[in-house]
A and B are shown apart, each in its own frame.
Chain A
Amino acid sequence: MTTILGKELSIRGVGKRYARPGDGDGAQALQVLQDIDLDVPAGRFVSIVGASGCGKSTLLRLILGLDDDYSGQILLDGEPVRGAGLDRGIVFQDHRLFPWLNVERNIAAGLRNAPLSKAEKQELVAEHVALVGLQGFEKSFPHQISGGMAQRVAIARGLVNRPRVLLLDEPLGALDALTRSRLQNELQRIWEKERITMILVTHDVEEAVFLGDRVVVMQPRPGRIRRIVDIDLPHPRNRSDPRFIRLRDDVLGDFLDPDGRIADEERLPPPGALPATVGALPALDRLRMAW
């Protein structure tokens, strides 16, 4: 696998507005994203971090092609993205496995429309079961495995089509702290092995810095990029490396008031904004704090 550092995914001047419920004209529409410019070179890991309501999950939905109603351009390899496609995979926060299929068949569900023979698909599934370390659980159903294991299955399902870009929408957000940090290591290992472009959306600054080559800090109302931080640390990263800690605290500083509290404007969205900011997971998005 060659690592071409071309401009694989290119987001140009993307904006997204939702009409507020009850409003007839577009003038009152809520601006969820404004002037997003972001280039993601092939094979790189980019983290997008921000507080609730900054539009980061919405941005993923646009890249994924679940929503074509936006301004600006999203280009994958120079071609505009239209609709969902197997060249973009996703892992959601809730694993979203089919409860009636076992692990193996859940992963295979991602390959239903892949132009491959049955044997090739079987081989790919077995390969990805091994990649996420779930050998022996191929026949287990989602309710028989832990949340962390279910999320591994979801990662395998997202990767099984060998997408150009894997989108990770707070994939570890619902897990307990121990499982989360273990899966962060796993994710790093998988990314180093597969070298697929990954875009991670997260609330967790440490996670963003730990995994990302580049951290995009977003701020809400309207959702826009505050700054982009390059993380020039070699992989695999070490959480107790002073350079890592310095970068983490630097990014963390973007979310704090001068006196060290969480900035108020980031914490409380304006009244009436919440129903309109529905991304993929409105309820969960609202319940969780930044970290």
Chain B
Amino acid sequence: MTTTPIDRPPAPRRPAAWRAWLGARWRGLVLPAAAILAWWALARLGWVSTPLLVSPGTVLDTAASQIVSGQLWRALSASLARELTGFAIGTVLGLALGALLGLLPLFNRIVGPSFNTFKQISLFAWIPLISVWFGLGDVAKVTFLSLAALVPVVVNTCDGIRNTPATLLEVARVFGYTRWQTLLHVVLPSAAPSIFTGVYLALIYSWLATIGAEYLLVAGHGIGNTLIEGSEHFRMDLVIFGMFVIGLVGWSMNALARALERRLARHRLGAA
């Protein structure tokens, strides 16, 4: 298509990226900003004077020293290594168990009821048993984390597979798909969103469980141990810094998983 060039007004300048980002979110930042300001005022103006309240400045100093001395890195890497190991073991076992439960009716009838009972046991109720069997070291912690990751993966994998619409399975029959083709081209794609949800929950659960494990099975390094150290020495700056790091890691995992999910399940958007 050809058009005669006419004087066009210059395209409006696009706002800077950070501006666009802030533009949509600044209202959500009001409350945290106010809280920090109040906290700072409380500590700074000396209205409250107790070692249990530290100023934001002290926390920042602690953060800097933890980062520079490498202590943060040592604690964080130990925690993350643990969480990823437990997550990986739990997810792999969970996918296998969930797939067997979902695909084999006989296996489901035999193992399903036991698993459903097993999963009712609160996760932290396993700690005493695990600590007696495996001690307080990394083996015990990773076992606990695997358990935390296992349950959501099994449940969601099994549900996803079993919820494959019968209508689509019939289509596979009509086109003469073999069992293997049906699994690969119908069951798994249909179950994929549910399986992904399970893996995503496993990632979040195992991070929560990491902190719990470090807190309850006290041995070695880890971000949970940083918290314990802080609380034992009444170093609120260290406690608050540790909490902030834990939150940040959790938030990053969440964001990462969401971004991945969006990529993987793009075709589902608007499908409902």
Taking beta carbons and an 8 Å cutoff, which residues of A are in contact with B?
A: 64, 66, 84-86, 88-90, 92, 94, 96, 98-102, 109-110, 112-113, 141-144, 161, 280
| In contact, B167 and A100 (Cβ under 8 angstroms) | no
Give complex CA distance A96, B186 in Å: 12
Determine how close the nearest CB of chain B comes to the CB of A64; give it in whole angstroms: 7
Give complex CA distance A159, B217 in Å: 64
Determine how close the nearest CB of chain A comes to the CB of B69; give it in whole angstroms: 50
| In contact, A100 and B176 (Cβ under 8 angstroms) | no
Contact of A113 among B170, B171, B176, B186 (CB under 8 A): B176
| In contact, A100 and B190 (Cβ under 8 angstroms) | yes
Judge whether B270 is part of the interface by a CB distance below 8 angstroms.
yes
Most buried by A among B176, B185, B268: B176
| In contact, A141 and B175 (Cβ under 8 angstroms) | no
Closest A residue, CB atoms, query B266:
A141
Closest B residue, CB atoms, query A92:
B167
Taking beta carbons and an 8 Å cutoff, which residues of B are in contact with A?
A: 167-168, 170-171, 173-177, 181, 185-186, 189-190, 192, 267-268, 270-271
| In contact, B177 and A141 (Cβ under 8 angstroms) | no
Task: Determine the chain A residues whose CB is within 8 A of the CB of B267 once the complex forms.
Answer: 99-100, 102, 141, 143
Most buried by B among A99, A100, A143: A100
| In contact, B185 and A112 (Cβ under 8 angstroms) | yes
Task: Determine the chain B residues whose CB is within 8 A of the CB of A143 once the complex forms.
Answer: 267-268, 270-271
Tell me whether chain B's interface is mostly helix, strand or loop, or mixed. Answer: helix
Task: Determine the chain B residues whose CB is within 8 A of the CB of A142 once the complex forms.
Answer: 271
| In contact, A113 and B174 (Cβ under 8 angstroms) | no
Nearest 7 A-B pairs (CB), nearest first?
A143-B271, A100-B189, A141-B267, A113-B176, A84-B174, A96-B171, A84-B173
Give complex CA distance A88, B173 in Å: 12
Task: Determine the chain A residues whose CB is within 8 A of the CB of B171 once the complex forms.
Answer: 92, 96, 98, 109
Determine how close the nearest CB of chain A comes to the CB of B120; give it in whole angstroms: 32
**Interface pairs (14), CB distance under 8 Å:** A64-B174, A66-B170, A66-B174, A84-B174, A86-B175, A88-B174, A99-B271, A109-B171, A112-B175, A112-B177, A113-B177, A143-B267, A143-B268, A280-B170
Contact of B189 among A89, A98, A141 (CB under 8 A): A98
Closest B residue, CB atoms, query A281:
B167
Task: Determine the chain B residues whose CB is within 8 A of the CB of A64 once the complex forms.
Answer: 174
Give complex CA distance A86, B176 in Å: 7
| In contact, B167 and A96 (Cβ under 8 angstroms) | yes
Give complex CA distance A101, B186 in Å: 10
Closest B residue, CB atoms, query A94:
B167
Closest B residue, CB atoms, query A154:
B171
| In contact, B176 and A85 (Cβ under 8 angstroms) | yes
Task: Determine the chain A residues whose CB is within 8 A of the CB of B176 once the complex forms.
Answer: 84-86, 113
Give complex CA distance A109, B190 in Å: 15
Give complex CA distance A3, B40 in Å: 90
Determine how close the nearest CB of chain B comes to the CB of A122; give it in whole angstroms: 17
Determine how close the nearest CB of chain A comes to the CB of B160; give it in whole angstroms: 13
| In contact, B185 and A109 (Cβ under 8 angstroms) | yes
| In contact, A98 and B175 (Cβ under 8 angstroms) | no
Give complex CA distance A88, B168 in Å: 17
